[in-house]
Amino acid sequence: MSLNQIFDVAGSALSAESVRLNTVASNLANAETVSSRPDTAYRAREPVFASMLAQQTAGQAPESVGVRVLGVVESNAAPRMKYQPDNPLADQNGNVYLSNVNTMEQLADLISASRSYETNVEVMSTSKQLYLKTLALGS
């Protein structure tokens, strides 16, 4: 892997983690939203990542060249039901439907995503320093 490819791989990972951070932020912002029907309640979202591979050369394994976001999918878990007869969104039985966002899982995912983001920033910073030192050797 060339030094230039390191920036491509780390850059794609930064982009992917940025999507992940934004998705977690959206989930946390909607964690306590209320709906009158279960089918309109907010559902937690999660990005789907895939590794990008370079073309395989004869007799060698394909090289990894980064990460891409395939899309963002919604959770299939049922929304939470809560009895609140005084809520204007309550159904005929007095129930409202809350999002299926698990706040603790989202906070753990937020920490993981931010650490992955930080790590990729460090990879790029270290690669830049090595690249500059390599160039200084030639002068």
Name which of 127, 128, 6 is nearest 66 in CA terms. 6
pTM of the model: 0.83
Q: How confident is the model at residue 51 (pLDDT cuts 50, 70, 90)?
A: confident
Q: Which of 112, 106, 116 is nearest to 14 (CA)?
A: 116
Which single residue is written with the structure tokens 């791989």?
9
Residue 3 above 90 pLDDT?
no
Burial 72-105 (b: 16+ CB within 10 A, else e): eeebeeebeeeeeeeeeebeeeebbbbbbbbeee
Q: Band of the pLDDT at 55, cuts 50, 70, 90?
A: low
For residue 100 the two structure tokens come to 């299926």
Task: Of 2, 81, 68, 10, give the one whose Cα is nearest residue 41.
Answer: 81
Question: Are the beta carbons of 84 and 97 closer than 8 angstroms?
Answer: no
Return d(Cα 86, Cα 66) in angstroms, integer: 51
Eight-class DSSP state of 47: E
**pLDDT value, residue 102:** 95
